[in-house]
Amino acid sequence: MNERFETTVPEEYHLERVDRFLAHSIEADFSRSYIQKLIRDGNILVNGGPVKQNYKVKAEDRIEIVVPEPVPLELEPQDIPLDILYQDEDIAVINKSPGLTVHPGPGNPDRTMVNALLFHLEGLSSIGGVARPGIVHRLDKDTSGLMVVAKNDRAHQRLVEEFSARRVKKRYMALVTGRPDRDHCVIDRPIARHRVYRHKMTIDESGRDAVTEYRLVKIWNNQMGLFSLLDVALHTGRTHQIRVHLSASGLPIVGDPVYSKKWEKHRVPYLLLASVSLSFIHPGTGEEVSFEVGLPEHMTDFIRKLDSFSSS
């Protein structure tokens, strides 16, 4: 059965190429080349009609994407570099690199973290299905950092229970535009899919509860602009939660193509958000385990640039 996506073009993307807009905007992590193929095959319609790849979208254009029924996946192990911080017979903890899609799907049949896991690890849980062996939770493609992977079904089930009960402790670092009103804040605002711009999530009182807590770490105010580094604790796990809550608070993450209107201004390769700390009850031992990583290179590069302008 074909899968369908619909969205409406926000004003800030007026006159953006349609393939570029969709590559940055839809949650499915489709590659730009796959989107171009969908356009060539007549599977992307704008205002009800086909378009060419170089069509420039207009504000309020209605876009419909029809994804053909996928062929059965045959997952292959692929020798993709993978930063494995820890592993035993039950779990592996991965420091995912930015730009790496977690699991295969339409437009990303391979070269994913799952393909790398199959190459580097022996045994993965099957509960997640054929396309998602070992995958208990996910990070957005451009978000880097810590993920725990289940190596057997027993471990998978116990980890799912921990995530569902909100006992897993997750911390992120986010570099945002602007300065928060307070050094410490708990954002408790429900999130739902945007009613018009279907590729986005938004604050909506009818949505699911979502709680994000942040603490201010550092501020820069120089010729590059006003920026803040935030230490973020995630208390629920909604789609795009940190990105939505911070953007709605006037603190969009630098480089975020969906929730920051000026995302291209700073020329960063990925959004400046990373999962840096992960704590949970080990499914085998019953003991709490904790893992931490430093900031990824694209974030430290931007921070060095901010520091250099501040000291000059």
Backbone angles phi, psi at 25, to 5 degrees: -110, -35
Asked if residues 132 and 147 have their Cβ atoms less than 8 Å apart, the reply is no
> Helix (H, G, I), strand (E, B), or coil: what is residue 281?
strand
* CA 215 centroid distance within chain: 21
Dihedral over Cα of 271, 238, 252, 171: its sign: negative
Radius of gyration over every alpha carbon of the chain, rounded to an integer in angstroms: 20
For 219, residues 6+ apart whose C-beta sits below 8 A from its C-beta are 179, 226, 227, 228, 229
User: Of 140, 153, 209, 256, which is the active-site residue?
Assistant: 140
- Partners of 91 in the β-ladder: 150
Please confirm, yes or no, whether 140 is among the known catalytic residues: yes
Calpha distance 102→254 (Å, rounded): 22
* CA 221 centroid distance within chain: 27
> Helix (H, G, I), strand (E, B), or coil: what is residue 156?
helix
Catalytic machinery residues: 140
